[in-house]
């Protein structure tokens, strides 16, 4: 269609009708299709196939093409259609292709008695999940989704269907003093059969070795290639440092606040003092400082950024094979405004853990900041496949990207998926309403934000984003829309 109508906008509806013959496919299929074509014709700048916000796409051949090449676009039109069909086949085939290797790890039941009950939390099941994510043949559902079914009395097949998985790992753990007993089983949801089960007794400080053994047994059971994914066993210090990381993570996830960030930094500092050879304390502090900077809560931003970078780099040097360390480094590089280095760090994290939805969401944000909206949406689409029941980050990032792409109705639809938006998210809701011409609703949304930050101004907002957000004209539009919603200068 693009080659047949050079210079004219082709709507998304026309693409769906002509390329897919009216079949129901998501908009992600079209985004991926256009991305494949651009790669095929070396159009990284998107100057040949242009995005027309809220409408579709337009082919703009270069003016200097000699006559013999002007027929090129018509000759490659069939190949363009094939590229679209290939790109879309992933999305269309996913429901039938996925079941062979999609695994969800449910939180283990804790059969311990006081005072040991709750001592390990989700550390064991979380480590099994992280280890399995290293196997390239497996798709591992993110913990954000699979751990939502904690303590729910629901049939395994029902949980699997909601997660899009056909293999489920469930189990129980019992801690008594220094001893750990684990019962674990792998279930084939298709026929309800038990593929593998085991009972393991070990010292609690051998927990990482236990999780590695379970992951390898599971991988062997589904014939995944294990040579590329050996996990180094850790000692007692790493287990204890991991437990402190789990404590800090719970604190940060319990609510986005200055107090929780300060508490996480205190935990990270204690972890570094107790276990100086472990990366987890540095990871905690890097994440906490980056969050503090991201929401404008730092009293000395330059000093905090320097500390965040130092802690992230130290984490990587201590644990170069730990994807979380690279993820943390990517986050602080993003905050620094060095999106090239951030994307490199996120890519490294994804090589180490291809099933990290958090990393994909962060990668999308880096692409967003430099104005590569379609690449951002591609990363978000992959994140949604891994994490089908996400928290607020994924819909927030999706809505923000769609707003930047001037697709404001779609942005509002995505924002509505956030069950309980944290106060800073109401700024995004405000600009979405401005984009839709709903100024009164925009003012109400901004008022929700200002109730938590009454002294916030447009100048502080600009300062918050200036280093990171370099997409052409996007920050100016953001500030203008917030001003229209009532943000004081």
**Phi then psi dihedrals of residue 6, to 5 deg:** -60, 135
Question: Do 324 and 404 belong together in one domain?
Answer: no
Question: Do 208 and 327 belong together in one domain?
Answer: no
pLDDT of residue 91 exceeding 60, the answer is no
Last residue of a domain, one of 209, 233, 257: 233
Strand-pairing partners, residue 9, are 58
* Domain contains 39: yes
Question: Residue 159, Cα to own-chain centre: how many angstroms?
Answer: 22
Least confident of 78-87, 231-240, 408-417: 78-87
Before 106, cis peptide (omega within 30)? no
Distance of alpha carbon 424 from alpha carbon 461, whole angstroms: 11
The mean pLDDT value for 419-443 works out to 95
Strand-pairing partners, residue 10, are 57
- The domain that holds 330 is classified in CATH as 1.25.40.10
What is the predicted pLDDT for the residue at 295? 85
Distance of alpha carbon 134 from alpha carbon 211, whole angstroms: 13
Question: Do 105 and 222 belong together in one domain?
Answer: yes
Q: Is 437 exposed, middle or buried (0-12, 13-18, 19+ CB in 10 A)?
A: exposed
Question: Do 92 and 163 belong together in one domain?
Answer: no
For residue 387, the enclosing domain spans 373-489
Query: Number of structural domains, the chain?
Result: 4
Question: Do 388 and 326 belong together in one domain?
Answer: no
Give residue-wise pLDDT tens across range 280-320.
Answer: 999 999 999 999 998 889 889 999 999 999 999 999 999 99
* CB 243, CB 267: distance < 8 Å: no
Question: Do 220 and 251 belong together in one domain?
Answer: no
Q: Which residues contact 260 (CB under 8 A, 6 or more apart)?
A: 251, 252, 254
Least confident of 213-217, 282-286, 443-447: 213-217
Question: Do 82 and 105 belong together in one domain?
Answer: no
Question: Do 112 and 229 belong together in one domain?
Answer: yes
Question: Do 53 and 90 belong together in one domain?
Answer: yes
The mean pLDDT value for 120-146 works out to 82
Question: Residue 97, Cα to own-chain centre: how many angstroms?
Answer: 22
As given in the structure block, the two tokens for residue 422 are 């944290």
* CB 366, CB 343: distance < 8 Å: yes
pLDDT of residue 419 exceeding 80, the answer is yes
pLDDT of residue 72 exceeding 60, the answer is no
Hey, is 426 helix, strand or coil?
A: helix
What is the predicted pLDDT for the residue at 433? 97
Kindly provide the residue ranges of all beta strands, DSSP E only, lying in 235-327, ordered along the sequence: none
What is the predicted pLDDT for the residue at 77? 52
* Domain contains 209: yes
* CB 21, CB 15: distance < 8 Å: no
* Domain contains 362: no
pLDDT > 90: percent of the chain: 42
Question: Do 159 and 91 belong together in one domain?
Answer: no
Identify the band that residue 189 occupies on the pLDDT scale cut at 50, 70 and 90: confident
* Domain contains 364: no
Question: Residue 385, Cα to own-chain centre: how many angstroms?
Answer: 10
pLDDT of residue 12 exceeding 90, the answer is no
DSSP 457: -
* CB 49, CB 2: distance < 8 Å: yes
Angle between helix axes 357-369 and 373-386 (nearest 10 degrees) is 170
* Domain contains 224: yes
What is the number of helices (H) and of strands (E) in the chain? 23, 9
Place of tokens 């029941």: 389
Distance of alpha carbon 3 from alpha carbon 184, whole angstroms: 56
- The domain that holds 210 is classified in CATH as 3.40.50.10070
Question: From residue 333, how far is each of 10, 355, 368 by CA, in Å?
Answer: 38, 22, 15
Q: Which carries the bigger pLDDT value, residue 386 or residue 193?
A: 386
**Phi then psi dihedrals of residue 457, to 5 deg:** -135, 170
* CB 135, CB 225: distance < 8 Å: yes
Q: How many CB atoms lie within 10 A of CB 92?
A: 16
Distance of alpha carbon 22 from alpha carbon 373, whole angstroms: 26
**How many residues make up the chain in this entry?**
489
Question: Do 91 and 139 belong together in one domain?
Answer: no
What is the predicted pLDDT for the residue at 69? 46
* Domain contains 2: no
DSSP 108: P
Give residue-wise pLDDT tens across range 377-412.
Answer: 999 999 998 998 888 899 999 999 999 999 999 999
* CB 221, CB 188: distance < 8 Å: no
Terminal Cα distance for the chain, rounded: 47
Strand-pairing partners, residue 182, are 173, 200
**Strand pairing class (56-59; 49-52):** antiparallel
Question: Do 182 and 247 belong together in one domain?
Answer: no
Distance of alpha carbon 248 from alpha carbon 1, whole angstroms: 53
* Domain contains 363: no
Of 355, 142, 360, 135, nearest in space to 230 by CA: 135
Q: How many CB atoms lie within 10 A of CB 154?
A: 9
**Phi then psi dihedrals of residue 56, to 5 deg:** 175, -130
Q: Which of 11-25, 159-173, 207-221 ranks highest by mean pLDDT?
A: 159-173
Distance of alpha carbon 419 from alpha carbon 252, whole angstroms: 18
Last residue of a domain, one of 184, 210, 233: 233
Alpha helices in 295-407 (DSSP H): 301-318, 323-336, 339-352, 357-369, 373-386, 393-404
* Domain contains 365: no
Last residue of a domain, one of 96, 118, 144: 96
pTM over 0.85: no
Q: Which residues contact 181 (CB under 8 A, 6 or more apart)?
A: 173, 174, 199, 200, 201
What is the predicted pLDDT for the residue at 19? 59
């Amino acid at each position: 269609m693009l080659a047949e109508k050079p210079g004219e906008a082709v709507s998304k509806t026309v693409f769906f009708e002509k390329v897919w013959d009216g079949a129901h496919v998501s908009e992600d299929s079209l985004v991926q299709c256009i991305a494949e074509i651009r790669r095929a014709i070396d159009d990284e700048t998107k100057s040949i196939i242009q995005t027309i916000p809220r409408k579709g796409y337009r082919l703009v051949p270069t003016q200097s093409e000699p006559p013999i090449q002007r027929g090129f676009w018509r000759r490659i039109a069939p190949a363009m259609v094939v590229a679209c069909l290939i790109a879309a086949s992933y999305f269309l085939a996913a429901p039938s292709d996925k079941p062979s290797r999609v695994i969800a790890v449910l939180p283990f039941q804790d059969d311990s008695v006081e005072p040991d009950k709750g001592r390990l939390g989700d550390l064991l099941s979380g480590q099994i999940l992280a280890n399995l994510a290293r196997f390239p043949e497996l798709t591992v559902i993110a913990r954000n989704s699979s751990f939502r079914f904690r303590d729910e009395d629901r049939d395994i097949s029902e949980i699997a269907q909601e997660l899009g998985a056909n293999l489920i790992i469930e189990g129980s753990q019992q801690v008594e003093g220094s001893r750990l007993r684990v019962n674990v089983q792998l279930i084939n949801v298709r026929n309800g059969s038990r593929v593998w089960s085991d009972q393991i007794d070990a010292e609690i400080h051998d927990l990482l070795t236990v999780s590695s053994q379970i992951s390898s047994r599971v991988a062997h059971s589904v014939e995944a290639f294990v040579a590329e994914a050996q996990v180094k066993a850790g000692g007692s210090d790493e287990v204890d440092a991991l437990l402190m990381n789990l404590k800090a993570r719970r604190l940060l996830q319990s609510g986005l606040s200055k107090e929780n960030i300060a508490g996480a930094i205190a935990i990270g500092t204690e972890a570094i003092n107790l276990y100086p050879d472990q990366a987890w304390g540095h990871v905690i502090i890097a994440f906490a400082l980056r969050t503090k900077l991201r929401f404008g809560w730092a009293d000395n931003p330059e000093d905090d950024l320097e500390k965040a970078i130092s802690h992230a780099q130290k984490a990587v040097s201590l644990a170069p094979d730990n994807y979380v360390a690279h993820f943390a480094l990517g986050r602080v590089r993003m905050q620094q405004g060095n999106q090239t280095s951030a994307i490199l760090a996120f890519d490294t994290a994804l090589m180490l853990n291809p099933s990290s939805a958090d990393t994909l969401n962060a990668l999308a944000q880096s692409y967003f900041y430099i104005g590569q909206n379609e690449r951002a949406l591609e990363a978000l689409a992959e994140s949604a496949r891994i994490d089908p029941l996400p928290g607020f980050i994924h819909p927030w990032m999706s809505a923000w990207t769609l707003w930047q792409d001037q697709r404001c109705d779609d942005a509002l639809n995505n924002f509505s998926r956030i069950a309980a938006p944290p106060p800073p998210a109401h700024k995004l809701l405000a600009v979405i309403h401005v984009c839709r011409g709903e100024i009164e609703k925009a003012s109400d949304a901004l008022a929700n934000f200002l109730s938590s930050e009454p002294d916030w101004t447009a100048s502080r907002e600009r300062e918050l984003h200036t280093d990171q957000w370099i997409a052409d004209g996007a920050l100016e539009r953001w500030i203008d829309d917030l001003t229209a919603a009532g943000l004081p200068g």
